[in-house]
A and B are shown apart, each in its own frame.
Chain A
Amino acid sequence: QKEVEQNSGPLSVPEGAIASLNCTYSDRGSQSFFWYRQYSGKSPELIMSIYSNGDKEDGRFTAQLNKASQYVSLLIRDSQPSDSATYLCAVLSGAGSYQLTFGKGTKLSVIP
């Protein structure tokens, strides 16, 4: 059974701070990793993808991957109230795999 674990939160950070969201996965053969943002009542929106060890930056977002530790994280710099949402970690196992395994999400609240 492939599992993706996230702290459910809520994670509260003050406006302007760095929010750190963490995710661990069980399938060591996983190849591709994604972060989705889901506002309440809306569908998930892809915000980051990462495929190799290390950091990947896109604007205020940085994804970090450590395959040896089976750990992926998302950092949000200069957090804004509009970042308040549930963040879903998703993992795609193996080359040619179709099935994304999702964590249950971490709810982030950015306090003005």
Chain B
Amino acid sequence: SQTIHQWPATLVQPVGSPLSLECTVEGTSNPNLYWYRQAAGRGLQLLFYSVGIGQISSEVPQNLSASRPQDRQFILSSKKLLLSDSGFYLCAWSVGFLEQYFGPGTRLTVT
């Protein structure tokens, strides 16, 4: 069966500091991978998606970036965090463009 991991589970970072969140998927090959953010009182917002190694599409212009160095690894990064980057970051995977399954998430607080 497929499993998706995210770490860290929680993170408190000062404004202006860098960020690296990691997501890995087990039990499937060549998944589509997604990064979402859920801010308080707002819906889920798609940030990036990837259909293969090195292929990243960005949905929202911002100070975040994503990379996919391996088939089942997806990384979300920032060089300098803003207060507005606080939120619940969720990685998801799908086979093709059907059901998406979410990881446990990382709760980021920027202070």
Contacts and interface: CB of A to CB of B under 8 A. Distances in A.
Size category, A interface: 20 to 34
Contact of B43 (A42, A98, A99, A104): A104
B97 A44 contact: no
Contacts of B56: none
Contacts of A34: 99-100
Nearest to B45: A102
Interface string B30-44: 001010000000111
A36 B99 CA distance: 10
Given A104-B42, A105-B43, A43 B59 contact: no
B76 interface: no
Contacts of A32: 98
Interface string B6-39: 0000000000000000000000000010100000
A90 B98 CA distance: 12
Given A98-B49, A99-B46, A43 B102 contact: yes
Contacts of B102: 36, 43-46
Given A46-B100, A96-B97, A103 B46 contact: no
Contact of B104 (A43, A96, A99, A102): A43
A49 interface: yes
Given A42-B104, A99-B49, A100-B100, 20 more contacts: A42-B105, A43-B90, A43-B103, A43-B104, A43-B105, A44-B44, A49-B98, A88-B43, A90-B44, A90-B100, A92-B98, A96-B97, A98-B32, A98-B34, A98-B57, A99-B59, A100-B46, A103-B43, A104-B43, A105-B43
